[in-house]
Amino acid sequence: MAILNIQDLSVHYGLKTVIDNLSLTVKANEGWLIRGESGSGKTTLARAIAGLVKHLGCIEINFDKQSALPARTLFVENWYRFTNLEGDRNFYYQQRYNHQQKRDTVTVGRELELHGIENSLNTDSLNSLVTTFQYDKVLDEQLFEISSGEHKKLQLIKALWLSPQLLIIDQPYTGLDKDSRTHLNQLLNEYAAKGGTLIIISNDMELPECVHHLIELKNGKIVNSAYSVNEKFSISPFGGNTKGARSEAQKLLPSFLTNPPEYTSQELVYMKDIHVRYDEKYVLTDINWQVHAGERWLLQGHNGSGKSTLLSLITADHPQAYANDIRLFGVQRGGGESIWDIKKRTGLISPELHWYFDANATVSQSLASGFFDANGQYQRLRYAQKQQLEELLHFLNLYEVRDELLATQPLGKQRLALLGRTIIKNPQLLVLDEPCQGLDQQQTQYFNNLVDEISKNGVTIIYVGHFETQLPSCLTHKLVLEEGRVILRQTIGD
């Protein structure tokens, strides 16, 4: 029997048609993949099925009364939103690093416990999920303290623990390292074996075996579909053709970005015997690292290995910088410099910055806020700044949507806008912390080509990427962290 029956579904946002007269039938216990380029309507389709958006047409869901799984639909969003104990979502991306005795959110363990109580779930099955994802060590941490990869795992653990009859996951692999992806696929197969129906939204092709059906969306319509018995779909992986992306990147770089950045010191980062700890827990231990002008570093490590914390010391976002021996741009930290002096030399993009970005900012304001290192634009632009903004909007193909809210744009466009924010002032140092998290292969390729292009002016770069992700080709050095320590440091190409 069909668990999901969609007839003539249309969804409009204002005058824009996002889903266009779409029909689809999914039978119980099938596994489906929805793919398509950014803005093609994937997430909207999922949200419509979950009853989260107004739509025209018919969506019928029939649960199996005999099934042992709960008769429910669960939609796991790409982005995870949590609130503090007072129901507030007023967080800022540096909050992880500002330590205060007052506990603002619940612990991860408590969050899981509450989820279990709310849905009357059995604790035994939770333990095996926690073990599989190697999640034991984060259970005592506060929700706002954990890394973006750990947040993703929390979402997935909650979903798989509940195991509803219809499970829809938007970008399940975002931010997960390779081991975690393998574990996830194994767990998804187990879920299917119990009789669950799975819909995954992703452009990845490392899928669990239980996925046999594929549809591809474009402009809110199904433009391609395929079926496979043995995980080999007859159509090519999505975004395999990156020709389009290359020609985009060949657009002429705005002239202000071809000027070399004005270095104030050849030594940008100097760190000696760095330690960062919360109470008795060490997050970083004995870190020694120097970054010089023009070097382009790759920073790697598993989820929770301390990458973001290390970068927060460089972007002046971590209060413990004052207790460590750190020089930034040749100036000793704690020597009377303000964080704004440091930030004006640095451009930062990270998943956390994106999470907590000003929800009321337009695309254009988001880019412009890079001039002021603010989260949203708070100051008036000078003439030259307006010119730069305009050039950059054209270069990134964002000019058409410049007055739309950033938050309403597809993820790929949002990331591009935030990349624009980091380079708009042509800084000395670019800190790109997992800038392609959540983007598909084609978008990642395009983004990395841009980074390569920008790097030609001699800007210094620190780029965080997972071991197996595609990387820009301009990188010259590599630093690998494990449990807060440096385990490898090398020159790339040696």
Partner 1 sequence: MANYFNTLPLREQLNQLGVCEFMSNDEFADGVDALKGKKIVIVGCGAQGLNQGLNLRDSGLDVSYALRKEAIEEKRASWKNATDNNFNVGTYEELIPTADLVINLTPDKQHTSVINAVMPLMKQGATLSYSHGFNIVEEGMQVRKDITVIMVAPKSPGSEVRAEYLRGFGVPTLIAVHPENDPEGKGLDWAKAYCVGTGGHRAGVLRSSFVAEVKSDLMGEQTILCGLLQTGSILSFDKMIEKGIDPAYASKLVQYGVEVITEALKQGGVTGMMDRLSNPAKIKAFQVSEELKKIMRPLFQKHQDDIMSGEFSRVMMEDWANGDANLLKWRAETGETAFEKTPAGDMKIGEQEYFDNYTLMAAFIKSGVELAFETMVEAGIKPESAYYESLHETPLIANTIARKKLFEMNRVISDTAEYGCYLFDQACKPLLADFMKTVDTDLVGKNFNEGKDNAVDNQQLVEVNDAIRNHPVEEVGRVLRKAMTAMKAIKTA
Q: What angle do CA 474, 480, 484 make, to 5 degrees?
A: 140
State the nearest-atom distance from the C-beta of 145 to partner 1, in Å. 13
**What CA–CA distance (Å, rounded) separates 356 from 373?**
14
What tokens were used for 471?
């990387």
Chain Cα centroid distance, residue 174: 6
x/- track of binding to partner 1 for residues 24-43 (CB under 8 A): --------------------
Minimal distance, residue 367 CB to partner 1, in Å: 9
The nearer residue to partner 1, 130 or 368, going by C-beta atoms, is 368
Backbone phi and psi for residue 26, each to the nearest 5 degrees, phi listed first: -120, 125
In angstroms, the CA 345 to CA 425 distance is 9
- Would you count residue 369 as binding partner 1 (CB under 8 A)? yes
- Residue closer to partner 1, measured from CB, 30 or 317: 317
50-89 positions binding partner 1, by CB under 8 A: 86-88
- Looking at beta carbons only, is 196 or 420 nearer to partner 1? 420
Residues 258-297 that bind partner 1 (CB under 8 A): 278-279
DSSP annotation of 142: B
CA angle 177, 180, 181 (to 5 degrees): 85
To partner 1, the closest distance from the beta carbon of 182 in angstroms equals 37
Judged by CB under 8 A, the residue of 361, 429, 461, 480 near partner 1 is 361
CB of 47 to partner 1, least distance (A): 17
How far apart are CB 425 and partner 1 at their closest, in Å? 13
* 3-class SS of residue 418: helix
Nearest to 351 by CA among 150, 50, 216: 150
- Residue 147 in contact with partner 1, rule: CB under 8 A: no
DSSP character for 240?
Answer: -
Rounded distance between C-alpha atoms, residue 483 and residue 472, angstroms = 25
Output the smallest distance, CB 88 to partner 1, in A. 7
| Least distance to partner 1, CB of residue 302, Å | 26
Q: Do 395 and 251 form a contact (C-beta atoms < 8 A)? A: yes
Shortest Å distance, C-beta 95 to partner 1: 8
Note whether 378 binds partner 1 by CB under 8 A: yes
The dihedral sign for the CA sequence 351, 344, 253, 295: negative
Taking the least distance from each CB to partner 1, the nearer of 374 and 492 is: 374
Tokens found for residue 207: 């899928």
Backbone angles phi, psi at 245, to 5 degrees: -60, -40
CA angle (392 as vertex; 315, 293 as ends), nearest 5: 40
Q: Coil, strand or helix: which one is 31?
A: strand
Q: Please report whether residue 14 would count as binding partner 1 according to CB under 8 A.
A: no
Stretch that binds partner 1, among 64-72, 377-385, 422-430, 455-463 (CB under 8 A): 377-385
Burial class from Cβ neighbours inside 10 Å (0-12, 13-18, 19+) for residue 195 reads middle
Among the listed residues 66, 243, 380, 384, the single contact to partner 1 using CB under 8 A = 380
Structure tokens at 274: 């760095």
256 is an interface residue for partner 1 by CB under 8 A? no
Nearest-approach distance from CB 273 to partner 1, in angstroms:
15
483 binds partner 1 (CB under 8 A): no
User: Are β-strands 166-170 and 197-201 bridged in parallel, bridged antiparallel, or unpaired?
Assistant: parallel
How many residues are given for the chain? 494
Site for partner 1 in 306-325 (CB under 8 A): 316-317, 319-320, 322-323
**Residue 389 host element (H or E):** helix 383-395
* Residue 8 or 88 with smaller CB distance to partner 1: 88
Site residues for partner 1, 178-237, by CB under 8 A, read none
177, 373, 433, 440: which one binds partner 1 (CB under 8 A) = 373
Q: Establish if 386 lies at the interface with partner 1 (CB under 8 A).
A: yes
Contact flags string 320-349 toward partner 1, x per CB under 8 A:
x-xx------------xxxxxx--------
Contact present, 353 and 422 (Cβ < 8 Å): no
Among 66, 90, 122, 234, binds partner 1 (CB under 8 A): 90
Which residues in the 92-111 window bind partner 1 by CB under 8 A?
A: 92, 94-95, 98-102
Q: Which two tokens stand for residue 372?
A: 């002021």
- Which residues of this chain interact with partner 1, rule CB under 8 A? 86-88, 90-92, 94-95, 98-102, 278-279, 316-317, 319-320, 322-323, 336-341, 358, 360-362, 364-365, 368-369, 372-381, 386, 389
